[in-house]
Every structure is written in structure tokens, then in C-alpha cells.
Structure 1
């Protein structure tokens, strides 16, 4: 006759009673082993509840009796087992019918985690596994686990298995929790650590306390961090263990006993630390193995999904999404793909529609991105050709902006109407640009010049194109604060004239970051104050304001004093304020009282006070159109180094600076520089003026070299 456990012999459990078994929670499993003779309170059998039979009311049929009996049977099955597939109660029958020796032999092939979960299934299996006689089964199962550290002396087998395998916080129950404080024999999440553990103080017994490193502190004030009090990890102690150790320490009476106790606890802590290191390495290896297993399952699922997508024609798009624009595998990271479970027919049917919709959106985004990248590359090739052409172009004449060229019908059709799969090379763009760019400029320039004439005609009805070159024709921008004053052709390079987005085409709007808007004269008006100031300056130079041009004003280069801005004092910022004509027109001085070329014998002393480095001047080379800054010497050096093949200068021609008459044939004023930036004001103080001839002529020569604004008849001899 087979040997049966004494506990099982005394039980006769029916199938219905097996369904009413309440599973003990994890806290009960971690207790000490139970004795074979005694019974726990949780192991007492519950009285069987009798099923209520449905009563038959008047007028009811036999179908009603059947429904009542059926509903009574359903009430006998607990709610948590009603949707479970398969037959219930197999483990109960295993505990009743299979010999105990066979059961224990089977359990030896499980790991401690399986035994722990198996003990929570039924009362009978819990009684077997939590019995003191089953300790050898737990030990055999534990020894069968690879690289598992030995069991510590302060834990029994179920407690050790619970610490190793149950991945939830022992304080709040949060799962998963892989943060184990091995010295405290507890798992604890980050939120519970601060309340459960405390920083170690310095009593006598603290050297023997089990210690752990907690998480990083987050409640640190900035000045604490600067003082160096912020630490990556805090050494903490367990509150309960600390109280127990303190009670034991204080119970000792003699100093010898306390020292022996401390030495014993220090040795125990050292052993705990060594064991904790072994446990942490084992746990990390177990987590890594599990992570690799999940990665393999995800990889298998991804390949299975790709095979299914290939049958419906979406595999290529899925593979393209693996190398997306941001170099991330969007397909593998999709929530439907990266699940760590194998793909079944049912699972595929449930995700197919959503996955195909996602791939459809991805395809639309990819095609749109390819379209934008292709158009962007074409625009940049055309933009590079424009920049090279502008650097070689004479800026005396109005030059179209990049937006004017790119929005022209020919180039816009070339970029947009050419099929996206057709390659457009840089050589092709260059040839097309060189062929059609001059034609576009020839059409654009007279049209925009006529717009300026129309702006003039609002004030001067009889104005014509020739009036644009008059010195008294001054435009101002209504968008600038303060308003910028300009002569022709400065307005074609003024930034406010390219801020009218309505002048751009709908196609080009999405590529606004590449180029500016086409040029527009909407913000320009004819300046009355500027024209009046220019008229006074021209007449003071004995010129006719109806015929004097801008170049005539440059040749006259009058010296102007603002009497309104005179400051008393002998310091460097005190004295009379002088300027050249661009400052008198473009700044606020145009509304002040001005004195022009009327300084008598003081003229030379005033010129001596003007420093050449106060003059911000920009000229363009007449040959290569590069901007040349500051002085005649730099102009001569530029001509000698880059254009001597045209000038054929000898060695003697490069020794002395060029005269202004000679220099004017090699440069022109840069129209991209605003009037107010052409020159700076300076102050003259009679008491501190330098009147020595050598000093005066040196300063005057520096001014001539810096400004290049004097007339061709003015000659200075340094030998005087």
C-alpha cells in the first residue's frame, strides 16, 4: 500500500471544494517551516457551501428549472477560475493520488522559484513543501541552480528563495523591483528606500551594523552641491536592524562583552558583504540571461512579422523603416513588434490592420521627405551658382536677389517639374544658369527700376529714370526705426525690401530658409527731409540741385559742422561736431543747424582733428568687385597682387601710393553699405588742436587715404 502523508490521509476533498481554496499570500511563504504534526490556522477546511436550487414559480416551465440549475452550478465555481482553460484540480489530485516519494522526487528537479510558486497553489502542496521534512527538496533544488551562492545562516530555504526569485518590492509590492539590499535581506524600490532606511550615525555599535549604498540623492540644494556635500550614494542602515542591534548592545554590561559583541558583528557584516557580492553577480547574470531571452523572442517575432508582411507586399517598406531618417529602427521599436512573445495566427490577425496603417503613414512620410530632400538639393545647387555670379557682378547696376532668380518661371519649373527620380547634376544646373540668368536679369532690372520711378512720381509727377541718379533723390524705408535713407541703387540691397512674403510663390514658401523673398518696393517712399538736406549741401557746394548727381557730391566732399550739437569743454568728447555729407543726410543732424565749408583759416586745424580710422569706408574693386576696406594703400596692394596682369605695373609703379585721380579708375563705391555707415563724426576743440605742419600734413594724408572722397584736382605734396 502506498505511503501517504498523515495530513493528506485525513482529508477527503471533492472537486468543488478544490475550487474554493484560497491561495496564501507571499508573506506566509516566507515563514519558518511547519512541523509535520501540527496544522496551521490557514490549513483548516472550510465548510462546503450548499448550492441553492432554483425554485419553480407559477407558470414557469422546465426550461426555467434548467436555467436555475445551470446558474447554481456557475455560482459554485469561483470567479477567478471561470475563464481558465483546461481541467481544474489536477494539482490537487497529484497531491492526493501520487505517492509522496514520487512527488518529492519530481520537486527536486525544479528550481527554488518554482517550488515557491507551487507552494502557493493549494493547501495540500503548501503543507508538503512547507513541512520541515521537505527541507532536503529545497536544498537539492537550490544546489541544482548554476552559480547560486550558498544559503546564509539567518535565512531558511523558502525565505532565501523568496529573496532571490520574487521580483517585487517587499515594502509596497511594486513590481518589478530588481533593487536588492542583500545585507538587509530585502527588496526595496526607490520610493520606499528613503522611508525604510536611514543614514548611519556614529554610536559605538555602528561599526557592526549591516550597511548598504542607497540611490542617488535628489533633494539637494544648489549651495549644498557647491559645498561638496552632494554624494552619488549614501551609506544607509535598516531601521529595524539598527533598533535590534542597539537593544542587544545596551543589554551588555561590561566593556569586554561589548567589544566581543562588536568584533562578532563586524565579522558577520564582512561575511554578509562577501555573500551580497556573490548574490548580486548571480542576480545580474540571471537578469542578463532573461534579457537576452526576451531579445531573442523579439527578434523571432520581428522576423515572423516580416514574413507575413512579405505575403501582403509590405516587407520592403518595413525594412526601409529600419533605417529611418534619424538612424533608428522604428519598425523593431514599434509597440506591436517589440513584444516579447511569439507570433500566432490569432495575434497576427489582431495587429495586421494597425501595422499596415502605420506602414502606410511611414511610406507617405518617407516619400515626402525624399521629395523635400531632392528639391532642397536642387535649390542649393542653383543658390551656389547665384552666389558665384553675384561675386563677379558689377554692383553699380541693380542686381536681383536670390528669391527673384529662384522664383522665376523657368528655374521654378526646372526644379519642380523635373521628375524626382531624374538626377540633376551640378554641371547641368551651371549650364542652365549661365544660359538663362542674363535673360532674367535683363527683364527684371527695367521692371524694378520702373517701380522706383513710380514711387518718385507720387511726389514728383514728372520724374524719370535719370532722376534716380540725382543727389537730391533720397528714398527712405518705412519699416526701419529710425528710418534708413538711401540713394540709388542702395535700396536693391536693403534687407527690409525682402520681407514681403506675399511676393513669394506658393511653391517656394516651404523653402523659405534657403533664400529671401523677391525684392519689393512696398516699404519705400521718397524722403522729403533727406531731399531738403541734400539740396542744402549741394547748393553750399556751388552745384545745381536739379542736375547734381551723387558722384558730384562725392567729388565735392564738403566738410559740415552741426552747431546744434556743440558741447563746451576741453575734454576729448567736448568741442564742435563735424561730419561728412552722408552723416548730415542720414542721421538726425539733418534737422539741426548746419554750417557747410565755411570755416576760413580754421579748416586745416579742423582736418587735423579728423582721424582716418574714424572713417568706415567700403569700396569695390572695378575688376573683381571684391570689397576693399579703409585706405588707398590696401587698394594698391590688392591691384598689385591680383590684377597686375591687366595693369602691367612695373616695380617703380608700386612704391608710392596712388593719387585719388588714379585710384578712381580702379574702384567704385559699394552700394550695399548704408549711408549712415560710410563715415563717422568727430569733434574739434581749438584749445587742444595740433597745428604743427608735420602733424597736420600726416593727418591730412591719412584722411585722404582713408576717405578717397576728395576731388581729383586736390594734390598734396609730402615734401612741404
Structure 2
């Protein structure tokens, strides 16, 4: 910043007054500048060039280097040349192309175009191999794999100097050059460390400048009552990635005038957020009303289904709930939707169950007792009839969590073995498989004895393996039909037992057999 102000001073015609400043005052001034700033000043005019290029100005250059912690120049470098090498990202040969990294092995910056001409490789070939080998020990080199590189001009200059010396001066010259090479070698680590520290500090400074700039812009937006836009993650991302926010330059009035698009974006985001909140509140109110109407006194054969979860997933209801606020969604409309939903849901669910059975049946035939489902979500798998299958927990709750979900038939399948056995069982109890329902079987109040299983001891006067109709069907299907016994028949494989009417016998039956302690085994005494 100080160098820029000094440049402006020179441009308005105050050059003479600036140049005539005393050396002591100049020394204080450059203590706040870097060698880069001092070199830019020296290049700005002939008078300042003569001032800073004078050998007596070394103290000024030293003060400038101290302000940024720059290491001392290597022997053979003047202060201006050292500042140019360390602070200006241009090629040391063409002075045009950008080269961001210093080659400390060769103490130069070189672009790709100049490297082919200015850098030598394998200079040890030729008639004067011994001389070339000696010269390579007197100049800085860089080794990459088996290749040795050096600066061509430096090689030729040292070689020319070496060949021009008399024998009595060659040893001293060689020793001087070897010391120089040693100094360059030792400086590699110093220079690399300083560059890394400077790069890190510069990056931290740029990040801080960007952060400060974004903070100032944010405060200005808040002052304009647009701070609520930052509550939107989308706006925050766009704000941080905006080119005028990411830059590290100081925020000026001109730059602020160019941020009108950010202000427009903030206004649009705030408007969208307000509309979104209003729509969310409207949706919440409509959902509460729909829930209350759905749970109202509607006649239903199965009160547990469909659930409010199924209703809220209904496509038509979603469309109505998301209508604009100007459209009135009243109780009458929602009642119509509830009625339509119940009809469609019932039809859809029954069609799904018919599909699972895999038969050419109508919805009305689902209630026939010959149709049996198996649930693979239960362990062990459970036998289900219609309509209890509609209210089965695995169809309406998520496994593992117990949370209510949209009704699904994912775990249901056709129970092949029992559907093969049910016609035989229904005919045995003198009903017709084409019309018999689960209610018809339950109304008989009979018990059934499995003849396939071994008979229990007779000392208690009873029989083992006597079941109610549902337990008997599961027993025959899971234990005998699935065991590969083949088609079961009556009366060879089972017999019908009279019902238990005595209260004491009913109590004993509920406890199970005193021999096997099986609650499905009825004891008759």
C-alpha cells in the first residue's frame, strides 16, 4: 500500500521533493516496504533508479528484506538482482513468461521455452572432456536421475574465465568457485523453507482478506434488511462462491455497486423462504384437518386399516393439500376424498391379494376358507386367512422399528400346502369349498384329532394332538403336508372330535395337555 501511494505521489509531479528526502528518512520508509516494492519504485523513474541502484543503498535493501524475513543474497547477486529473483514471477531470461517457482539449485527462474536453449545437459562430451568435467564442479548444477543440468551462460563464462587464467591463478579461482557452489548448495534448504513459509503466509493472508471482504458485504446486506437470506443454505453457497465475494481485493464503492445481483438474489431468496414457510403452514393446517376427518365416525369393517399413513400417501390427497392458498380446501371436499380413498384402497388391496393367490378369482371369493396366505415376515412363518390378513402387523409396520408404514403385501405369499389340504378338510366337516368361509368353520365349534402323530398314553383318559380348527390346519399343513407325506385324506389321517362344553374341561383345554404342556393340545376327561 505504501508503494502505491508513493507511485501516485510521483504521478502528480512531486518527484523532486520525493527524491531529495534524506537517506535516514528513506531508510525508515523502506522499512515498511518489501524488496518487491523497492524494486518497483526503482523502475518507476531514472532518479529513483539512480537512488536505489547506488551501492550506498544497501542499507535500504537490507531494511526492506528484514521487513519480510527474506534471506541474504548469495555471493555474486546484487540487491536488485536478488529482489528480482525472489519476488518477481517472471523468467530470468525472457523476462516475459510467468514462472512461479525458483530453481534454487541453479538460482534462476526459467520458463519451458527458454529451458531448451539456456539449460545444458550432458556437457561432458567433446574433445575437452577433462576441462568440462572440472568446470561442472565450479558451477551450480541440478541432477535429475542420470542427467546433470546447468545454466549454459554460466558454464561458458566460467570456462572462458578458467582458460584465460595463468597457471598460478587457476587454483585460487577454482577454490573461490567451489566455495560459491558450496554456498549455493547450503542455500537450497534455506530458500525452499522461506518460499514455503511465504507461500503459506500469503495464502493465509488471502483467505483472511476474502473472509473480511465477505464479512463486510454480509454486514451491508444485513443493514439493508436482507440478512434473512443467509438462513437459506442455497443462498449461502452462492454467496460464498460469488466472484465478487471470493476475491481478496479491498471493497470499494465501485465494487459494492457491482453487487446489485447479490442483493437481487437475497431479495428473491427471502421471498421464496416466506412463500415456503407460508405454504408449509398451510400444508400443516390442511393435513391436520384431513387427519381429523379421516379418523371421524366413518363406517368400516376393518377399523385398523387403512391407516392415516396410507391416506396421506394418496396421490389425490397430495394434490389437494398442495393447492395454492387462494383455493379453499374445506371439510366437505376432504370428506369426499376420504370416501373415494377408502373405496380405491379397498379395491386395490384386494386385487393385490387376488394376484398373490394366483387364481382366477374375484374379490368376493377372497373370504373363502380355501384361500390361505403365508407371511414370511413372521418367525416362524404364520398362516393367515382373509380378512385377518388385512390387519396383519407385517403388512402395516416396518420390521425392526415397529413404526407404522404404508400397507404392503411384500411378505405375503400363497400357502401352497394348505391350499391343497383345505378342500379335503372343508368337505370332511360337511361344507362346500366353493362357498365355505372362515366364519362358517369357526361356527361349528369342533375339535380335530391328528391320527398321523403317535397316540398319547391312556392312563389319563385323554388323547394327545387334539386342536381347534385353526391350530389343526397349521399342524397338518406345516408338519405333515410340508414333510412330503403327500395328499392328506379323511378319515385316514384325522378325525373330528366333539366340542368341549364343560367349563372345567374348557379350562383344562386352555391349559393344554398335562403330558406335553402344549396349549394347542386339548385334554378330554
| TM-score scaled by length of structure 2 | 0.49
